[in-house]
Amino acid sequence: MDVIRIEGGHRVTGEVRVEGAKNSALKLMAATIMAPGVSRLTNVPNISDVHVMGKVLKRLGATVTVVDEHTLDIDTSGVNSWRTPYELVVQMRASTAVLGPLISRFGQAVVAMPGGCNIGARNIDMHIFGLEALGVQFDFAHGYINGTTPDGLHSNFITLEFASVGATENLMMASVYAPGTTVIDNAAREPEIVDLANLLNEMGAKVRGAGSPLIEIEGVRGPLHPVTHAVVGDRIEAGTFAAIGALTSDPVYVRGFDPAHLGLVLKKYQQMGITVEKKPDGCVVSRERPLTPVDIQTLPYPGFPTDMQAQTMVLAALGDGDCIITENVFENRFMLAAELCRMGADIRIEGHHALVHGVKRLSGAEVASPDLRGGAALVMAGLVADGYTTVSQIHHIMRGYEHFTDKLQALGAHVELLSLPDPTEDDA
């Protein structure tokens, strides 16, 4: 059983460079399906989710060549299938990002229904609703959704009931060839949406307004052409290391991302008494004062990102007072709280609200990573807890953080990756 063991209390300071954004890279990889030929993606994070998306593309008939650790050449000229298998979708929900590209290229797609995950049901009803508005007909059987376009695709004006990132992405990609102009209203505005729109436009699409709530896609004659594109810096990996600098108080220079993509997070951190110095390629985060608790509400971008909620809960857990963290995006994203309470935190969950009463110290403990961001947050907590913290279920963390322990060690943290005998296996 692989675990991360941390000895708390050591100085953490220095410079760390974040990778390309997981939540963009996966969709850019899917989008190459629409551009037969060899596309080169650079600044791709070397994480397990990217490896799974590579398997999905290969299963569809693409060739994925690892040029170096952060560069992929994806040749989709050989893509000859439009069926995404359950065993890959169940590993990674983002596999549903191939839905739009497959429908654009082949007029059909068969994708396993993504199961739920630890943080929520993760439905795709908004994806289906929008694609049906573009002329896709779906039937559902044996855990798969089967989309066909007997009358072809057409443009439409689609209003999303929630600014869903995945639905916005699938609808952008599905409407690239739809004759006329498709409008996505109440579209997600995340920087990863802008990165995808930039890639599509570089490939020959006509997408306007990405980053605003109203995106217009003017149908073009296909196919798109392959390009070379660098993945945007990962604002959530960056935010995680910024939170680490805030927690451990010595300066941490987080590089490789646009600090404007963490606007509200850095503003909230400054309200908490954290020192943030913005740089062209990132920011320097430190703290000279006790943490002042502030209330947090997660919302779609540019609101406070749900993917930074867990990391911020650790800061609040050691704050000098009380605060309320409200999770508005996912229905079950407070599982970290129970683990932090085992380390001495004082957090009570009331529905979508976490009532956090700051404590003076956390004590090291054996804890289990509940999900990707919760796992990273537990490692964070271990950096300042008394004694040793052992985090298990770290496959969650490896999905989205490249060389996480190496980066922490380079900052001076006493962390190590260990393989321990699995206590659930009998001795026989």
| Minimum CB–partner distance for residue 164 and ligand EPZ (Å) | 3
Contact pattern for ligand EPZ over residues 134 through 163, marking x by CB under 6 A: ----------------------------x-
Q: Is 125 in the site for ligand EPZ (CB under 6 A)?
A: yes
- Tell me which long-range contacts 153-156 makes (C-beta under 8 A, separation of at least 24): 153/103, 153/104, 153/107, 153/177, 153/178, 153/179, 154/178, 154/179, 154/180, 155/179, 155/180, 155/181, 155/182, 155/217, 155/219, 156/182, 156/183
Quick one: CA torsion of 342, 345, 349, 352, rounded to 10 degrees? -110
DSSP state of 395: H
End-to-end CA distance of the chain: 17
Q: How many CB atoms within 10 Å of residue 399?
A: 20
Pairwise CA distance, residues 201 & 224, whole Å: 9
Using the rule CB under 6 A, which residue among 88, 124, 215, 308 binds ligand EPZ? 124
Stretch that binds ligand EPZ, among 80-88, 122-130, 198-206, 401-409 (CB under 6 A): 122-130
One of 37, 85, 120, 211 touching ligand EPZ (CB under 6 A): 120
* 283 is an active site residue: no
Closer to ligand EPZ at the Cβ: 365 or 397?
Answer: 397
Binding mask 11-40 for ligand EPZ (x = CB under 6 A): -----------xx--x--------------
What order of strands is seen across the sheet that includes strand 214-218? 157-159, 181-185, 214-218, 207-208
228: which strand partners?
A: 40
d(C-alpha 364, C-alpha 255), whole Å: 29
In the complex, the smallest distance separating the C-beta of residue 386 from ligand EPZ, rounded to whole angstroms, is 29
* Cβ neighbourhood burial of 273 (10 Å; 0-12, 13-18, 19+): middle
Q: How far apart are CA 13 and CA 119, in angstroms?
A: 32
> Could you give the string, one character per residue 218-257, with x where binding to ligand EPZ holds by CB under 6 A and - elsewhere?
----------------------------------------
Stretch that binds ligand EPZ, among 29-37, 52-60, 115-123, 194-202 (CB under 6 A): 115-123
Select 25 or 227, whichever has its Cβ closest to ligand EPZ: 25
- Work out how close the CB of 189 gets to ligand EPZ at its nearest, in angstroms, rounded to a whole number: 10
Residue 98 touches ligand EPZ, criterion: CB under 6 A: no
Residue of minimal Cβ distance to ligand EPZ: 166
CB of 47: closest distance to ligand EPZ in angstroms? 10
SS3 track for 151-163: CCCCCCEEECCCC
Interface pick for ligand EPZ out of 238, 372, 380, 397 (rule CB under 6 A):
372
Stretch that binds ligand EPZ, among 1-9, 56-64, 114-122, 223-231 (CB under 6 A): 114-122
- Least gap, CB of 400 to ligand EPZ (angstroms): 6
Stretch that binds ligand EPZ, among 120-128, 178-186, 248-256, 414-422 (CB under 6 A): 120-128
Cα dihedral sign, 146-151-155-156: negative
Residue with tokens 């006329």: 180
Quote the strand ranges of 190-295, DSSP E.
Answer: 207-208, 214-218, 228-230, 252-255, 274-279, 282-287
Q: Which stretch binds ligand EPZ (CB under 6 A): 98-106, 125-133, 138-146, 380-388?
A: 125-133
Smallest distance from the beta carbon of 235 to ligand EPZ, in angstroms?
11
Compute the Cα dihedral for 158, 164, 165, 169 and give only its sign. Answer: negative
Q: Does 373 bind ligand EPZ (CB under 6 A)?
A: yes
The least distance separating ligand EPZ from the CB of residue 368, rounded to whole angstroms, comes to 17
- Print the binding letters for residues 310-349 with ligand EPZ: x by CB under 6 A, - otherwise: -------------------xx-------------------
Judged by CB under 6 A, the residue of 16, 165, 178, 232 near ligand EPZ is 165
Q: Which of 6, 54, 9 is nearest to 32 (CA)?
A: 54
Give dist(CA 354, CA 335) in Å, integer: 11
The count of residues in the chain is: 428
The alpha carbons of the chain give a radius of gyration, in whole angstroms, of 22
Give the x-and-dash track for 170-189 against ligand EPZ (CB under 6 A): ------------------x-
Residue 121 sits in the site that holds ligand EPZ (CB under 6 A): yes
Q: Is 396 one of the binding residues for ligand EPZ (CB under 6 A)?
A: no
Please state, in angstroms and rounded to a whole number, the distance separating the CA atoms of residues 270 and 259: 14
Q: Which residues would be at the binding site for ligand EPZ (CB under 6 A)?
A: 22-23, 26, 94, 120-127, 162, 164-167, 188, 306-307, 329-330, 372-373, 400
Residues designated catalytic: 117
